[in-house]
Amino acid sequence: MSALNPIINRVVGKFVKEDWLDFAFSHVDSMLTVSRVMAKVVSISDETSDIKRFVLQPNQHWKSFQAGQFVTVKVMIDGSFRERCYSLVSAPTDSVIEIGVKRQPHGKVSNWMHDNLSVGDVIELGDVGGDFVLPATLPSKMLLIAGGSGVTPIYSILVEALKRQANLDVTVMYYANTDKDLAFGNEMVELAVKHPSLKLHYALASAGDVGRFSPQQLSAVCADYTDRTTYICGPQGLMGAVSKVWAEKGISQQLTQEVFGFATINTDVPANQMEITLRRSQQVLLNSKASLLESAEDAGARPVYGCRIGMCKTCSCTKVSGVVRDLVTGAIDDQPNTQIRICVTEPLSAVVLDI
């Protein structure tokens, strides 16, 4: 197939649409495409009671990733495509890739994958993204903090860091409800045996106060945390508490965060309704929901979106004019022609979007 790509691309560009060729190829081999990344499910295993590990074999269009990044997964549910982002667990050099998918209470894609995806099925992968990655030069000491299923990118970063420097001084603090909720727990214990410089600390909510984050607990587990480069991924409550401590210590620049899980957004109807103009589709609507994306959907528009939590940037578009607020960071943007993520942005004035 790779030898035919130049020929196929020339044909596509001159005579035939790529989508039509992909449709034709799918009747021969669902992994055969002109440029789309498809992946076959090699194996599925239970990591915890609500997290499954999916091992995927991508086709020749896959171009690897960096440890800590995520990939967009695109699946067909009830006749329409849905996209979500999942952190990559495997090493960037592996021939297969692995993702950890946690079943969400109202998660359309995660529940579908848990209940319907089987070994041998083929799904489509989108872009790889995320800035939650290691620097080119490793710091001398690191602290990795994970909460719940936020361990997936943390585990990937840990494996890559120890691969690059086997004697790296690194401490892992992993928060979970019970010992049965420790995804990748056995693998991390094996790493600790192989790398004595790795120190593991499991904080379980079932154990009471000792399982909850606090400055006192942090100091007891990692007394020199102020000297360490820190990565954290977990629930908003944990990340907020850690960020506050780092800010109070004046070391926020040493903290790298990855938002994991759904942003806490009030979905009630806003008190003040603002006019939202979708310039290209020539539609004018009022904000009826918390985010621009939800308001547009409520009015019958169908903007492109992916994760719906501000991670994948699939919904990014140009804000031509208006004042908006980022629901995750709280940042206010009043400048014209800026890029915003409409899934986590609310209008504070009339807004014109280039969609």
Residue 310 has pLDDT above 90, yes or no: no
More confident residue, 127 or 17: 127
Is position 28 within any domain?
no
In the block, tokens 């719940």 appear at: 148
Residue 154 has pLDDT above 50, yes or no: yes
Tell whether 43 and 66 lie within a shared domain: yes
Give residue-wise pLDDT tens across range 38-54.
Answer: 999 999 999 999 999 99
Smallest Cα–Cα separation from 121: which of 19, 30, 21, 25? 30
Residue 145: strand, helix, or coil: strand
Tell whether 181 and 206 lie within a shared domain: yes
Domain boundary among 129, 163, 178: 129
* Residue 221 CB-density burial (10 A; 0-12 exposed, 13-18 middle, 19+ buried): middle
Tell whether 163 and 242 lie within a shared domain: yes
Confidence of residue 105 (pLDDT cuts 50, 70, 90): confident
Percent of the chain scored above 90 by pLDDT? 60
Give residue-wise pLDDT tens across range 196-214.
Answer: 999 999 999 887 766 789 9
Domain count within the chain: 3
More confident residue, 328 or 182: 182
Give residue-wise pLDDT tens across range 177-198.
Answer: 999 999 999 999 999 999 999 9
Rounded Cα distance between 204 and 97, Å, is: 29
pLDDT at 254: 95
Give residue-wise pLDDT tens across range 24-83.
Answer: 656 567 788 888 899 999 999 999 999 999 999 999 999 889 999 999 898 888 877 788
Confidence of residue 270 (pLDDT cuts 50, 70, 90): low
φ/ψ of residue 16, rounded to 5:
-125, 140
CB distance 86 to 100 below 8 Å: yes
Residue 145 has pLDDT above 90, yes or no: yes
Average per-residue pLDDT for the chain? 87
Tell whether 165 and 229 lie within a shared domain: yes
CB distance 168 to 135 below 8 Å: no
CATH number at residue 290: 3.10.20.30
Tell whether 195 and 243 lie within a shared domain: yes
Q: Which 3-state string (H, E, C) describes 259-278?
A: ECCCCCCCCCCCCCCCEEEE
Bridge partners, 86 (sequence order): 71
Query: For the residues of 292-323, what is the DSSP string, one character each?
Result: HHHHHHHTT-----SSSSSSS-TTEEEEEE--
Q: Which domain holds residue 306?
A: 275-353
pLDDT at 307: 76
